[in-house]
Amino acid sequence: MPHKTYPTDIAEQGRAVLEAWREIDPALQLGGMALADLEAGLNGLGEIYAQLDSLDAQITELRNRRDDAGVDLWDRVKRVRTGVKSVFGDNSSEYEVIGGTRIDDRKPRGIKKVEEPA
């Protein structure tokens, strides 16, 4: 993401400048900009932040639902594989087709050497 061309606390700075402008002279025009223009910019940014917060909440909810659905599906996949294993056996071609590893295809367990103390 490119570097932002504005400070991260722009909303706080905008509010502080807005309040100070009101104290100095609300009717003051600076370079063709009125107090209402600054206030409109601040309000627009606030609306965008509110939309972002809403979208963040929505995406968090969707991610939670996705995770729950994934856990549920994984449970079902395991149950189907276990069912096929119990019906056809754990060395059957049916078990292999459903995604299991047949006993004949498994690698033998390696035997660890026990080092004798010197």
Query: What would the pLDDT profile of 84-93 be if each residue is shown by its tens digit?
Result: 999 999 999 9
Residue 111: which pLDDT band, with cuts at 50, 70 and 90? Answer: confident
Segments making up each domain of the chain, as ranges: 10-105
The reported pTM is: 0.63
pLDDT reading at 116 higher than 90: no
In the block, tokens 């003051």 appear at 28
SS3 for the chain is CCCCCCCCCHHHHHHHHHHHHHHHCCCCCECCECHHHHHHHHHHHHHHHHHHHHHHHHHHHHHHHHHHHHHHHHHHHHHHHHHHHHHHCCCCHHHHHCCCCCHHHCCCCCCCCCCCCC
Question: Which is higher by pLDDT, 46 or 1?
Answer: 46
Burial zone of 95 (CB within 10 Å; 0-12 exposed, 13-18 middle, 19+ buried): buried
